[in-house]
Structure 1
Amino acid sequence: MGSLQDELRQSKPFQSLRQELVLQIARTSAVLMHAWEQSLRLYGITLTQYNVLRILRGAGNTGLSRNDVADRLVTQVPDVSRLLERMVRSGLVLRVRDTVDRRMVTATITERGMAILAELDTPSYLVADERLAHMPDADVQTLIRLLEVARTSAHCPAAKR
């Protein structure tokens, strides 16, 4: 595939180099995430649900509050409570209300959720490896570093350039 401008069939040039960069990141993310979502569809879960399952698996038996899950998501979603409730209905997550502080609800991964993750661990890594196999490791490491700089800077934009 050619340039992003060609891929989007855009006749006018981008307004700035940084605008092109942001669109490159967004388009590349969309292409890679689409491939990943296709592999998850076979298991009846979304990419966000997969992310929640991985977060809860990492939390262990103690589980996490809704806010803690929300803070750790790769992609922010508007209503984590509703997402968790759908996952409870699907048998992927268990929510338990604290007996002392009734306002506190902890989410944990179920055995079914763990089983799905166990089946998905290898295929999900393969999607990334297959889609980016053409890139040398040194380029991947450089891109990771540059994206970390861009993401960190996006959280607190500089006053001047």
Structure 2
Amino acid sequence: MNVEAYIKTGGPLPLERRTIIHLVLVHNHLQDQLTQALKPFDISLQQFNVMRILRGQKGNPANLSTINERMVSRMSNTTRLVDKLIAKHYAERKTCPENRRKVEIRLTPKGQEILTEMDRAVDAVEREVLKPLDEGQMKELNHLLDLIF
């Protein structure tokens, strides 16, 4: 991608600025592609992330703090995301019998089933987006990104 042409600048950008803009453009492109893949399921990327976190608990409940710590995109509205999943019957919330202040959140069977379908849609987008890269290039890209973050 020619960043300068894309953002219609008159000339070359300083390398640091070009790199940052390029990363932002790639991020936006990926987010758009993933959002489109999840659109038929009426699920946001953040809700999808919460569902994957809950699945990763392997049947054990999670609390809001655990979910928030593991979010790819951390935000303060984790409660709202969980509430939306509960409204769709993809997750359930129960008060812990031993500690009534503790709330336990789990995926429902319906949530697990729909998550499997969403996984297929997201996997297809990931394969398509990364098709131009071979395994070595993906490893190198991950290494370079690790140097930044």
Is the TM value for this pair above 0.5? Answer: yes
Distance apart, 1:13 and its partner CA: 4.8
Give the whole-Å Cα distance in 1 for the aligned partners of 2:37 and 2:123.
11
**CA displacement 1:37-57 (0-9 Å, x = unmatched):** 111001111111111111100
Residue type of the alignment partner of 1:91: H
Secondary structure class of the residue paired with 1:108: strand
What residue in structure 1 maps to residue 4 of structure 2? Answer: 5
Residue type of the alignment partner of 1:150: I
Structure 2 unaligned segments of length 5 or more: list them.
none
1:71 aligns with 2:95: no
After TM superposition, the score normalised by the length of structure 1 is 0.85
Secondary structure class of the residue paired with 2:33: helix
Greater Cα shift, 54-63 or 3-12: 3-12
Which of residues 72, 96, 99 in structure 1 aligns to 2:97?
99
What residue in structure 1 maps to residue 114 of structure 2? Answer: 116
Residue type of the alignment partner of 2:68: A
Structure 1 unaligned segments of length 5 or more: list them.
152-161
Distance apart, 1:66 and its partner CA: 0.4
Secondary structure class of the residue paired with 1:51: helix
Give the whole-Å Cα distance in 1 for the aligned partners of 2:66 and 2:10.
44
**RMSD (CA atoms):** 1.5
Distance apart, 1:18 and its partner CA: 2.8
Secondary structure class of the residue paired with 2:58: helix
Paired residues for 1:9-158 under 5 Å: 9-11=8-10, 13-14=12-13, 16-151=14-149
Secondary structure class of the residue paired with 2:41: coil
Secondary structure class of the residue paired with 1:103: coil
Greater Cα shift, 41-50 or 97-106: 97-106
Distance apart, 1:11 and its partner CA: 3.3
Distance apart, 1:70 and its partner CA: 0.7
Contact in 1 for aligned 2:49/2:71 (Cα 8 Å)? yes
Residue type of the alignment partner of 2:3: L
Contact in 1 for aligned 2:61/2:104 (Cα 8 Å)? yes
Give the whole-Å Cα distance in 1 for the aligned partners of 2:64 and 2:12.
43
Contact in 1 for aligned 2:38/2:121 (Cα 8 Å)? no
After TM superposition, the score normalised by the length of structure 2 is 0.91
Give the whole-Å Cα distance in 1 for the aligned partners of 2:76 and 2:61.
21
Distance apart, 1:87 and its partner CA: 1.2
